[in-house]
C-alpha cells in the first residue's frame, strides 16, 4: 500500500512557494503574519 504523502518539489513550489503566496491577498496575509512572528522560514 502506498503512503499518502508523495513528495514532489515542483508541485510544492507551485502550491506553497513564495510566489504562490504572493499571488493572493490571503497568501500575502500569511507571509506578513509569519514575518510578524519573526519566522526564520517564511514559505517553502
pLDDT of residue 26: 96
Q: Is residue 1 part of a domain?
A: no
Range of the domain at 22: 13-44
The whole-model pTM stands at: 0.77
When divided into structural domains, the chain yields a total of 1
Q: How far apart are CA 44 and CA 1, in angstroms?
A: 28
pLDDT of residue 44: 84
Q: Is residue 3 part of a domain?
A: no
Cβ proximity of 21 and 31 under 8 Å: yes
pLDDT of residue 23: 96
Residue partners of 42: CB distance under 8 A and separation at least 6: 18, 31, 34, 35
Q: How far apart are CA 17 and CA 20, in angstroms?
A: 5
Q: Is residue 5 part of a domain?
A: no
Q: Is residue 6 part of a domain?
A: no
Tens of pLDDT, residues 1-44: 999 999 999 999 999 999 999 999 999 999 999 999 999 999 98
Amino acid at each position: 500500500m502506498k503512503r499518502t504523502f508523495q513528495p514532489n518539489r515542483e508541485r510544492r513550489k507551485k502550491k506553497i512557494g513564495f510566489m504562490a503566496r504572493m499571488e493572493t491577498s490571503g497568501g500575502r496575509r500569511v507571509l506578513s503574519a509569519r514575518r510578524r512572528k519573526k519566522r526564520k522560514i517564511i514559505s517553502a
